[in-house]
Amino acid sequence: MSPASDLLAATLAQSDFHPRLPQQRRLYEAAKTAIHQNLLAAGKRLPSSRDLARDLGVARNTVIAAFGQLAAEGYVSSTLGSGTYVADLQELSAGMRRGAGAPGAPADAARAAAPLSRRGAELTAFAAGPRYEIQPFAPGDADFSSFPFKLWQRLQNRVWREARADLLDYGQSGGYLPLRQAITEYLRISRSVKVSVEQVMITAGTQQSLDLCAQLLADVGSTAWVEDPCYWGARRVFQARDLLLRPITVDRHGMALDAADLATEPRLIYVTPSHQYPTGAVMSLARRRELLDVAVRKNAWILEDDYDSEFRYTGRPLAALQGLDTDNRVVYMGTFSKVLYPGIKVGYIVVPPALIAPFKSALYDLQRPGQLMVQAALADFIALGHFTTHVRKIRQIYGARRELLRRTLAAQLGSQLGHGVAISSEESGLHLVVELPERTDDVALAALAAESGIQVKALSTYYLAPPLRRGLLVGYAYVTAEKISYYGKLLAAVIQSGVRR
Considering only residues 244-283, where is the footprint of a second copy by CB under 8 A? 265, 267
Q: In angstroms, give the least distance from the CB of 107 to a second copy.
A: 7
Neighbouring CB atoms inside 10 A of 95's CB total 17
* φ, ψ at 64 (rounded to 5°): -60, -45
Query: CB-wise, 81 or 106, nearer to a second copy?
Result: 106
**The binder of a second copy chosen from 57, 81, 130, 467 (CB under 8 A):** 130
Q: Any contact of residue 354 with a second copy (CB under 8 A)?
A: yes
Residue ranges in 286-325 that form contacts with a second copy under rule CB under 8 A: 299
Q: Any contact of residue 112 with a second copy (CB under 8 A)?
A: yes
**The binder of a second copy chosen from 107, 285, 286, 411 (CB under 8 A):** 107
Q: In angstroms, give the least distance from the CB of 438 to a second copy.
A: 30
Q: Which residues contact 130 (CB under 8 A, 6 or more apart)?
A: none
Q: In angstroms, give the least distance from the CB of 23 to a second copy.
A: 15
Query: Taking the CA of residue 18 as centre, how many other CA atoms within 13 Å lie in the half-sphere pointing to its CB?
Result: 19
Q: Where are the beta strands (DSSP E) in 175-329?
A: 200-203, 223-228, 244-251, 254-255, 266-271, 301-305
Query: CB-wise, 47 or 171, nearer to a second copy?
Result: 171
Query: CB-wise, 72 or 409, nearer to a second copy?
Result: 72
Sign of CA dihedral 370, 185, 324, 305: negative
Which stretch in 116-124, 178-186, 247-255, 396-404 sits in contact with a second copy by CB under 8 A?
A: 116-124
Residue ranges in 165-184 that form contacts with a second copy under rule CB under 8 A: 165-173
Q: In angstroms, give the least distance from the CB of 148 to a second copy.
A: 10
* φ, ψ at 435 (rounded to 5°): -80, 140
Residue ranges in 181-200 that form contacts with a second copy under rule CB under 8 A: none
Residue ranges in 421-460 that form contacts with a second copy under rule CB under 8 A: none
**DSSP assignments along 416-460, one per residue:** GBTTTBEE---SBSSEEEEE--TT--HHHHHHHHHHTT---EEGG
Query: CB-wise, 133 or 403, nearer to a second copy?
Result: 133
Q: Any contact of residue 59 with a second copy (CB under 8 A)?
A: no
Neighbouring CB atoms inside 10 A of 386's CB total 17
Residue 100 identity: A
User: Does the bond joining 317 to the residue before it have cis omega, within 30 degrees of 0?
Assistant: no
Q: Any contact of residue 489 with a second copy (CB under 8 A)?
A: no
CA 147 to chain centre: 25
**The binder of a second copy chosen from 14, 38, 124, 388 (CB under 8 A):** 124
Q: Does residue 263 sit in helix, strand or coil?
A: coil
Which stretch in 195-203, 249-257, 314-322, 349-357 sits in contact with a second copy by CB under 8 A?
A: 349-357
* Spatial contact of 498 and 445, defined as CB atoms under 8 Å apart: yes
Which stretch in 15-23, 71-79, 121-129, 249-257 sits in contact with a second copy by CB under 8 A?
A: 121-129
Q: Any contact of residue 81 with a second copy (CB under 8 A)?
A: no
